[in-house]
Homo-oligomer: A and B are copies of this chain.
């Protein structure tokens, strides 16, 4: 349901779910470039031009390694994990802020022990993500810290 048509006040439920917000697990098959991740669109407002989404991964889950023209503004909400932003790999914890600038490779990975979730603010109108080519992946892997991050799966 678009948040414009939902009640103005939507209480949080247990386990990082919300009233009147659909829980959308990403479908995965053997070739999916992500693992055990779900999306909940908390706000989708034409007036704002932006959405606020909550993404969550199960322990050891990860998002797609991708880049795109649009930017992301992220706040970690639950658990611990790592993120890759460009060539930077960092441990992140609740309330940490992560900006994904345009055309910057990025990926989030949950720690082995617990679910990992974050808020992501993004433009409603946005371009489709690009996946890395084999050559781009080789360039990313040439940094040992990035290679270790990518090889966790």
Number of interface residues of A (CB under 8 A): 45
Q: Is the CB of A71 within 8 A of B48?
A: yes
Partner of A102, one of B6, B47, B101: B47
Q: Is the CB of A88 within 8 A of B9?
A: yes
Q: Which residues of B contact A42 (CB under 8 A)?
A: 73, 75, 97
**Chain B residue nearest in CB terms to A106:** B8
Q: Is the CB of A3 within 8 A of B99?
A: yes
Q: Which of A57-65, A118-126, A131-139, A140-148 contacts B (4 or more CB under 8 A)?
A: A118-126
Q: Which residues of B contact A110 (CB under 8 A)?
A: none
Binding site for B on A (CB under 8 A): 3-4, 6, 8-12, 16, 18, 21, 42-43, 45, 47-50, 52, 70-71, 73, 75, 77, 83, 85-86, 88, 90, 92-102, 104, 119, 121-123
